[in-house]
Structure formats: C-alpha cells, structure tokens
Amino acid sequence: MKRICIYGLGAVGGLMAARLAAAGVAVNAVARGPTLAAIQSNGIELRETISGRSVITRHALNAAEAPAELGVQDLVVLAVKTTGMQQVAAEIGPLLGKHTTVLSAMNGVPWWFLHGMDPELARIGLNTVDPQRVISQAIDPASVIGCVTHLSAAAPAPGVVQHVAGHRLIMGEPMGAVPGPRCEQTMNVFRTAGFEVEPADSIQREIWFKLWGNMTVNPISALTGATGDLIMADDLVRAFMSRCMLEAAAIGRRIGLPIEVDPEERHAVTSQLGAFRTSMLQDAEAGKPLELDALVAAVVEIARQLQIPTPQIDTLLGLARLKARVAGMY
C-alpha cells in the first residue's frame, strides 16, 4: 500500500497520520480550514510522552481540501465524526478506485455494520446513520475494513495532536473472522507506525462491545457537563446506565453479538479512567454536532425493527437529543 490517505485530521486521524509519517510513510490527508492551513505551513505536530519525557516532533503531510487533488488511493482511513459522513460520501469519490481499501475508524454503529452478518438482518435499515443508503452507495461496504480504537488522543490546536494513552487498534473485515490479504496489509501498515494491531474474530462484536459502554456515558456527560468520575460516582445515574446496557445486551444477543460481561464490570473499567471528558462532552463544550445517531439512535432503530423494547435507552436518547436540539447541536 503506497498511496495512503487519512480523511479527517482530528485527534485520532491526526495521531494516525503523524505516526505513519514518522515511520517514513508518505501520507496524504484531507483537511480543511485552520487545520489545513496549519498542516500546509508547518506539517503536523505530534506531542508524546516517551519514557517519562515530553517529546514534540513535526511531520510533513500532503494535505488538500478537495479529494480530487489527491487522486485514487490504495488505503483511505476515515477518521471523521459520524455527523459528517454524508458530506464525506458526497466528496470521497476521487479517492476510491476498484481496489481501494477503506478503513473505518469512527465511533458507534457505522453504515456498513450489518454487512456480512446473518442474511436475516439484511432487512434491518440503518436510516439513522445512512439515510436513503447514500453512504453505502458512495462507499461500498465490501471495500471496508472496520477498526476499533483503544487509545486516547487530543487535538489541542489546528495541526497539533497530543497522544494521551494507549496504542491498541482492532481490525477486521465485516464478512468474516479470518483476515484476508487486504486486512493483513492494512494491519501491517499500522504496525510499522508503532500501533498494537490485533485481528478481530468479529469486528462487529468489537464495535458493539465498545458501543455498549460509550452509548451511556457519552450522552450523559453531554447532558450534565460531568466528567467520568462524577458520573460513575452517582449511584442513581450508574444504575440507570446499567439498565440501558442490559437492553443493549439483549439487542446484541438477538443479532448474534452477545456480551458476556456484567454492566458493573464495565463501570469498574470506566471508573479507572478518573476525571476524563468524553468526546461528546468535548463536542458539546465546543458547540459541535453530537454523535447521538451513531451512538444511541441507531441502537433504538435496530431494536424497533426487531421488536425489542428499550424504554431506558429511549429515555436517554430523548433527553440527550432534546438537549442537543435546543443548543443547535443536532
């Protein structure tokens, strides 16, 4: 894979681009506004802590606003907010060729989620994340490799990315458990950049498990303005989160993605993160659109079509969506 493009230079996309460039990979990138200007002027700045020492490096990227300026790529990494995917679908065409692989590294339920799963599930629509299937028509699900990120990064300024913690990426093809050649190639690309890359037996199961925790703490943080430690310390809130998670686990069992963990076990892991600010809280504080559709509404949509009751998740979605609408973020 010689032609690699990172679509979106936020925290995760910026970290991937900087790490790849540091490993000697010629990286293309799609960016806009102040981020594009900063990259074109100074490259991307990577801030890391290595052996207890703060290290800052800069790396050149070939960045452009229009995908047509970059041409067909071997690998396109989608690291954008899910709220921007319809615009991406309208613009991404020039990057995609017959053999282009698309790595989907985003939060929540993606447009291709049901691709390759039980044929019975094909009748389920995902209009919340792929209205009128416009994204599926622009980006063929068969070209996709899913990626679940287990790391933390921040973008404190345009063209600057701060690695906070973790290096783990889980990748897999929606169609099966055994990584094919293009998945192996993609994993190797990121291994050369210092990421800990693991193949997934089922990438959808990995996505659902990560969603299982994020779908509650993220919208609750946006509703309340609370950091993770305060959310987890409130017994009533924690119990409400558990009830939502039990409903999501029931959906998971129905679609072949069982979760063999008790909500309290997941809460204990979240509690260890301390006073962290979720990505949705950061978006809410910045007045950006909230990823409620991919993290919560898609779960409700799947449940409705399978006739699985979700009164707790419904309440969470209704309150968070109303809050976001009033603030002009939905």
Compute the distance between CA of residue 256 and CA of residue 262 in angstroms, rounded to an integer: 18
| Model confidence at 177: pLDDT above 80 | no
What is the band of 216 on the pLDDT scale with cuts at 50, 70, 90?
very high
pLDDT of residue 278: 92
Q: Kindly report the pTM of this predicted structure.
A: 0.93
What is the band of 122 on the pLDDT scale with cuts at 50, 70, 90?
confident
210 is known as an active-site residue: yes
Compute the distance between CA of residue 75 and CA of residue 101 in angstroms, rounded to an integer: 5
Mean pLDDT of the chain: 95
What is the band of 194 on the pLDDT scale with cuts at 50, 70, 90?
very high
| Model confidence at 304: pLDDT above 90 | yes
**101 three-class SS:** strand
What is the band of 45 on the pLDDT scale with cuts at 50, 70, 90?
very high
Active-site residue, from 2, 81, 98, 210: 210
What is the band of 76 on the pLDDT scale with cuts at 50, 70, 90?
very high
Percent of the chain, pLDDT > 90?
90
- Domains defined along the chain, listed by start: 4-201 (3.40.50.720), 205-326 (1.10.1040.10)
